[in-house]
Amino acid sequence: MSVKSRGEMVFSIFNTVVMLIIMFLTVAPFWFSLVGSLNEGLDYMRGGVYFWPREFTWGNYIAVYSDPSIYSAYFVTAARTILGTVLHVLFTALVAYGISRPNLKGKSVYMIYIMLTMFFAGGLVPTYLLYRDLGLLDNFLVFIIPSMFSVWDLMILLSFFRSIPESIIESAKIDGAGEYRIFLRFIIPLAMPALAAISLFNGVGHWNSYFDSLMFTTSESLQTIQLFLMRVVTDATFAQGMGAQAAQLVPQQAKKISPETLKLAMMIATTAPILLIYPFLQRFFVKGIMIGSIKG
């Protein structure tokens, strides 16, 4: 670090203050949710629980985790997230690389063909019929195959691939490398930050998805975690809707958990794994890549 000028000092201080404010504003909602999820449901309804639980309980988490089918839901969701994300990123990146090459023939036609699909979708019924014909209904692959490719991610990757200096690709070609080799050997390592970002978007999408599980599967064993938790919460809402009746039938339960606190616990339960994985992805973002080092 060289000696900083006065202006740079001011900027550094300003920047740190801005970051601290943003940190406070962004951590607060999450913290309040965490606190709420650890508070007794009935007590939470009285309001004012923000910084620390007033009536501490694990009840909401016990309710979330007490049903044994949550574990199969976690497993299915983890499997689809890992498998789905890896295939998605590789496939989309491969197509994106092909499209990004300036010498690709038919490029403009391809682009229009690709872009149109972003705006016009056939809706649920035709999709359902298609999946039925492809044998994807109630099949684990319905989580993987239809989401293997996304035009949105393709567009983002295009912008990254275009910023890769043409000279790298040219020199590789002179060395006799084919397109696939260039893609694997140079493009993937160079576009690592972008691929990491897309993996994160896609992985979170997989992790949080429930629509395909709801619509295209019927087996309980193919229930995703979000769908499972949604059902736990609605169940509690119904119990509460019966009001005094539920209170009478299940006195303890009604006191410890409420739909609100249960929702919060569920949110934390699904978010926590993502938070744990994030630091591993993060190193791809913060490390600047020396293009020179790749060449060697």
Residues 129-148 that bind another protein (CB under 8 A): 129-130, 132, 134-135, 138-141, 144, 146, 148
What minimum distance in Å lies between the beta carbon of 179 and another protein?
4
Q: SS3 of 77, please?
A: helix
In sequence order, the β-bridge partners of residue 56 are 39
3-state secondary structure 123-181: CHHHHHHHHHHHCCCCCHHHHCHHHCCCHHHHHHHHHHHHCCCHHHHHHHHHCCCCHHH
Would you count residue 43 as binding another protein (CB under 8 A)?
yes
From 58, 170, 282, 295, residue interacting with another protein (rule: CB under 8 A): 282
Binding-site size, another protein (CB under 8 A): 150
List binders of another protein among 211-250 (CB under 8 A): 214-215, 218, 220, 223, 228, 230-231, 233-235, 240, 243-244, 247-250
Binding another protein (rule: CB under 8 A), the pick from 74, 78, 205, 271 is: 271
Work out how close the CB of 152 gets to another protein at its nearest, in angstroms, rounded to a whole number.
8
Residue 166 contacts another protein per CB under 8 A: no
Q: Which residue has the tokens 């260039």?
A: 182
Q: Judged by CB under 8 A, which of 47, 175, 176, 280 binds another protein? A: 47
Nearer to another protein, 112 or 174 (CB): 112
Q: Are 56 and 38 in contact (CB under 8 A)?
A: yes
Nearest to 270 by CA among 36, 55, 80, 70: 70
> Contacting another protein (CB under 8 A), which of 56, 163, 171, 295?
163
Distance CA 224, CA 62 (A): 19
Q: How far is the CB of 212 from another protein (least distance, A)?
A: 11
From the CA atom positions of the chain, what is the Rg in Å? 25
- Does 176 participate in binding another protein (rule CB under 8 A)? no
Who's near 244: CB < 8 A, 6+ residues apart? none
